């Protein structure tokens, strides 16, 4: 029966992945838990009509109303402005039986200048969970599923991600899920020039994405945003005692040392989703030893060792490291 159930689940999810990879702007639904349904909507400010957009924003606000102790958010997706929602990717989790929204993540795609070109950075965005639904294991769906979809749709090329948080549980999750994350308490964490260049670009042009005002400071050595809660996100400010903790004390201690919770500091984390991160996500989210886990791990290893290098080499429209430089738009290779 376990094999039959696993095969049934694979068939059920196969259409989801085929549709996801074929849509220019995703609008997908998937049963990610026995009693929960997840909807992923890309660029709703551009793709939804007025009624559908208003209904989506109402669902997001209903979750926020149960999550925030006081105050209303005024920036980003809560504003209801189409321009703010045009660059967002919403992951909304609802009760499958009643349709009641219980959790969401609002990713944002930022275009950041780097090395004279434009680099796409996926900002992990705001996550809120109805207090009554906590403990259902939603973090993997809210933080990982959509970034995995974007990574696969882009031909499995590494993608930069960013995250702004003062919550130890979230900071630790980012460190454990993605690759080359900085800042991080892990001994191998290093700040590269790419990290620094992207961080400067984000702080220069994209503060509004995460509700940080122009008067907030930025410590480039530690990647700490000082006095961060001045740009519409004031209601999210927490004390250290109130901030959800990670199961590993190393992340709790790291946040306690690096952040001034009275002033209202945040970490600006930068990392990448690549094949190693995808493998970590899949093996963590799919039960170890199950048939889907075996198939997923085998597929990732095959892509990493054989298929992916060939696909990247044959695609002459994009750079391939030092072997094939990037061509300006409109030019064709010799």
pLDDT in tens, 107-140: 999 999 888 888 999 999 888 888 887 777 787 7
Q: What are 105's two structure tokens? A: 């993540």
pLDDT, tens only, 43-69:
999 989 999 999 999 899 889 888 775
- 3-class secondary-structure state, position 28: strand
Higher pLDDT: 285 or 296? It is 285
pLDDT attached to residue 185? 97
Residue 204 has pLDDT above 90, yes or no: yes
Residue 311 has pLDDT above 80, yes or no: no
Q: What are 222's two structure tokens? A: 């530690």
Lowest mean pLDDT among 44-58, 75-89, 264-278, 279-293: 279-293
CA–CA dist 234, 72 (Å, integer): 9
pLDDT attached to residue 96? 87
- Evaluated on CA atoms 140, 142, 145, 148, the torsion sign reads negative
pLDDT bucket at 74, cuts 50 / 70 / 90? low
pLDDT attached to residue 288? 47
Average pLDDT value for residue range 273-287: 79
- 3-class secondary-structure state, position 83: helix
Phi-psi region of 123 (alpha: psi -120 to 50; beta: other; left: phi over 0): beta
Percent of the chain at pLDDT > 90 equals 40
Using CA atoms, how far residue 233 sits from 73, 228, 272, 284, 323, in Å, is 6, 8, 25, 32, 44
**Among the listed residues 24, 202, 180, the one whose alpha carbon sits nearest the alpha carbon of residue 109:** 202
Cα atoms in the Cβ-side hemisphere of radius 13 Å centred on 97 = 2
Most confident of the following: 36-50, 153-167, 214-228: 214-228
pLDDT attached to residue 1? 43
CA–CA dist 242, 56 (Å, integer): 29
Which DSSP category does 143 fall into?
A: I
Residue 301 has pLDDT above 50, yes or no: no
């Amino acid at each position: 029966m376990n094999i039959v159930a696993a095969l049934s689940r694979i068939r059920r999810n196969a259409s989801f992945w085929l549709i996801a990879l074929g849509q220019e702007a995703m609008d997908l639904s998937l049963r990610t838990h026995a009693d929960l349904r997840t909807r992923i909507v890309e660029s709703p400010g551009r793709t939804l009509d007025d009624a559908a957009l208003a209904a989506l924003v109402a669902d997001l606000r209903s979750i926020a109303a149960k999550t925030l102790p006081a105050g209303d958010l005024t920036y980003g997706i809560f504003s209801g402005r189409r321009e703010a929602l045009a660059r967002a990717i919403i992951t909304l989790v609802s009760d499958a039986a009643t349709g009641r929204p219980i959790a969401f993540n609002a990713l944002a795609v930022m275009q950041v200048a780097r090395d004279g070109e434009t680099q796409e950075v996926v900002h992990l965005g705001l996550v809120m969970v109805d207090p009554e639904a906590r403990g259902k294991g939603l973090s993997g769906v809210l933080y990982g599923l959509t970034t995995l979809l974007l990574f696969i749709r882009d031909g499995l090329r590494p993608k930069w991600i960013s995250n702004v948080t003062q919550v130890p549980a979230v900071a630790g999750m980012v460190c454990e899920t993605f690759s080359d994350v900085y800042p991080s308490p892990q001994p191998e964490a290093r700040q590269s020039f790419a990290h620094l260049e992207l961080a400067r670009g984000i702080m220069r042009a994209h503060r509004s994405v995460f509700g940080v005002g122009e008067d907030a400071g930025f410590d480039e050595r530690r990647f700490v945003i000082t006095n961060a809660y001045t740009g519409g996100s004031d209601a999210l400010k927490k004390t250290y005692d109130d901030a959800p903790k990670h199961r590993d004390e190393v992340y709790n201690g790291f946040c306690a040392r690096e952040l001034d919770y009275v002033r209202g500091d945040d970490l600006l984390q930068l990392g990448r989703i690549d094949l190693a991160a995808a493998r970590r996500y899949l093996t963590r989210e799919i039960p170890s030893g199950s048939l889907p886990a075996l198939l997923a791990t085998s597929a990732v290893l095959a892509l990493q060792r054989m298929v992916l290098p060939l696909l990247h080499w044959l695609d002459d429209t994009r750079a391939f490291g030092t072997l094939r430089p990037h061509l300006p738009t409109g030019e064709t290779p010799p």
